[in-house]
């Protein structure tokens, strides 16, 4: 199902098919038109081989609308977001498809704060792009172009400023890191050195020639798990291609699940300071249990980083994130940040003096299933309606339709929604046992099949 995805999360498509330099140039025109001539934009990219061509095309569109562009080169998403704010830019652009496979690339647009566009601004940008009505500038009013290579260092400095470097370094942790040949290769080794860690770095060259699928889920991280066991490391970390997400492997070489990244960060932060936490409707209820223990609450939002950040700011939350391995620390930059997650996990280990598996055991456990299935264009609303009707008779079911449909029970939940980044639907469930979670996913899958099956 090869189609260009244009959502609040930006655009993604298959390079050379739905996403071409012409599409990228036109989005540069559209973003420049929206911001206005004389505006300043920061642009960076992950390491994908298609990145330079797409960045050049976007830049061409921006310059043609009279926008000034500062190129950061290869940098993590949090580093680009940070520089957008530090350079007082009017907007930012990141050329990345995050966790998607190599054949994909994408473009994410940022507000001056470094956060993703609001839903309203994303729709405005899409409308300008679809109209093709671009405000190009006269030749003598074109924008100017410059380069700044300080993004990785400045971001790292801000991350280290919020953690106890001396305490972490005193433990001399052995760490295995898989940067999947992505943007994390640029600055993460320097971070490990400053934190006094003995680093075993897998897939450490920022070539974009991914050694495995870059999504940091269990099936893609067998090499990391084996390396943690083989090297007797205290922990294993896996970044995605733009280094905003983090998955963790314990000292036994066991993948603990990407949902635990936010849970561990929340447990650590709540041990230091009290406050509410923001996350989306697809994130594990582990975070709710941890917040309740601390006398705090969780602000739930629709899926999408921009929505979580909006909830974080509106609720004055001390931390935010998403269950796919994303931790958002407003003290650094209001986007997902694998560097912050690494620092907090290492400090949690250093201060408690116990193993990662023991820290995980302290967190209330649930079983979560995350499935994704093809979804014909236009079918998701009918699937949601059918699911709502099927569960509405159950008195104990609580239905939330602010993001697809989520159905909560006393100790479990199931949800169905369209992906913001792929032409698929996601059916997820969480329950105390694998059997209960599987049953919930199977029921929603069955309902979806009645809508999309051949008889329809």
User: Which burial class, exposed, middle or buried, applies to 131 when counting CB atoms under 10 A from its CB (0-12, 13-18, 19+)?
Assistant: exposed
* In the predicted structure, residue 24 carries a pLDDT above the cut 80: yes
Alpha-carbon span 290 to 286, nearest angstrom = 6
Out of 98, 179, 282, 415, pick the active-site residue.
98
Cβ proximity of 431 and 437 under 8 Å: yes
99, 89, 102: which is closest to 44 by C-alpha?
89
Cβ proximity of 42 and 84 under 8 Å: yes
Give the model's pLDDT for residue 354. Answer: 97
The predicted-structure confidence for 289-335, as pLDDT tens digits, reads as follows 999 999 999 999 988 888 899 999 999 999 999 998 999 999 999 99
Average pLDDT over residues 422-446: 93
Give the model's pLDDT for residue 454. Answer: 55
First to last CA, the chain: 19
Structural domains in the chain plus CATH codes: 5-149 (3.40.120.10), 154-361 (3.40.120.10), 367-452 (3.30.310.50)
Strand partners, 5: 12
Q: Verify whether residue 402 is a known catalytic residue.
A: no
105, 103, 89: which is closest to 42 by C-alpha?
89
* In the predicted structure, residue 1 carries a pLDDT above the cut 90: no
**DSSP designation for 278:** E
What one-character-per-residue DSSP string does 12-35 give?
EEEBTTTB-HHHHHHHHHHHHHHH
Angle formed by the axes of helices 151-160 and 184-194, nearest 10°: 40
Alpha-carbon span 313 to 293, nearest angstrom = 22
Count of other CB atoms within 10 angstroms of residue 299:
19
Q: With the CA atoms of 381, 386, 392 and 398 taken in that order, what torsion angle do they form, in degrees rounded to the nearest 10?
A: -40
Cβ proximity of 14 and 104 under 8 Å: yes
Token pair of 65, please?
């609308």
The predicted-structure confidence for 185-228, as pLDDT tens digits, reads as follows 999 999 999 999 999 999 999 999 999 999 999 999 999 999 99
User: Which burial class, exposed, middle or buried, applies to 406 when counting CB atoms under 10 A from its CB (0-12, 13-18, 19+)?
Assistant: buried
């Amino acid at each position: 199902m090869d189609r260009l995805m244009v959502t609040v999360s930006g655009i993604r498509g298959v390079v050379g098919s739905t996403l071409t330099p012409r599409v990228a140039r036109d989005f540069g025109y559209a973003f420049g038109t929206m911001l206005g001539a004389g505006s300043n934009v920061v642009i960076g990219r992950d390491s994908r081989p298609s990145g330079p061509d797409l960045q050049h095309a976007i830049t061409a569109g921006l310059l043609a609308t009279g926008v000034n562009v500062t190129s950061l080169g290869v940098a993590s998403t949090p580093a680009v977001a940070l520089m957008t704010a530090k350079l007082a830019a009017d907007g930012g652009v990141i050329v990345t498809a995050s966790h998607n496979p190599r054949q994909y690339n994408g473009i994410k647009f940022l507000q001056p704060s470094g956060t993703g566009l609001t839903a309203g601004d994303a729709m405005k940008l899409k409308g300008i792009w679809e109209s093709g009505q671009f405000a190009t500038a006269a030749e003598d009013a074109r924008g100017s172009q410059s380069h700044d290579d300080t993004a990785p260092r400045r971001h790292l400095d801000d991350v280290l400023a919020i953690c106890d470097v001396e305490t972490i370094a005193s433990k001399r942790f052995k760490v295995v890191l898989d940067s999947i040949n992505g943007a994390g290769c640029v600055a993460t080794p320097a971070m490990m050195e400053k934190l006094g860690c003995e680093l075993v770095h897998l897939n450490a060259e920022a070539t974009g020639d991914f050694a495995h699928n870059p999504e940091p889920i269990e099936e893609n991280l067998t090499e990391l798990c084996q390396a943690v066991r083989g090297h007797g490391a205290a922990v294993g970390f896996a970044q995605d291609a733009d280094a905003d997400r983090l998955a963790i492997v314990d000292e036994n070489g066991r993948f603990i699940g990407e949902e635990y990244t936010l849970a561990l960060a929340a447990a650590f932060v709540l041990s230091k300071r009290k406050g509410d936490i923001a996350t989306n409707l697809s994130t594990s209820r582990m975070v709710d249990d941890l917040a309740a223990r601390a006398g705090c609450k969780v602000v739930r939002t629709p899926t999408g980083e921009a929505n979580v950040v909006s909830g974080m700011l509106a609720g004055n939350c001390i931390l935010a994130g998403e269950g796919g391995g994303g931790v958002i620390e407003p003290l650094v930059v209001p986007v997902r940040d694998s560097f912050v997650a690494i620092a907090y996990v290492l400090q949690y280990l250093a201060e408690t003096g116990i193993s990662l598996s023991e820290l995980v055991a302290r967190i209330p456990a649930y079983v979560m299933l995350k499935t994704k299935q093809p979804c014909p264009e236009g079918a998701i609303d009918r699937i949601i309606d059918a699911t709502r009707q099927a569960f509405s008779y159950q008195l104990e079911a609580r239905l939330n339709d602010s993001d697809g449909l989520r159905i909560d029970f006393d100790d479990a939940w199931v949800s169905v929604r369209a992906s913001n980044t792929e032409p698929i639907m996601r059916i997820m469930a969480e329950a105390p046992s694998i059997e209960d979670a599987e049953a919930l996913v199977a029921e929603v899958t069955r309902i979806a099949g009645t809508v999309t099956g051949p008889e329809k």
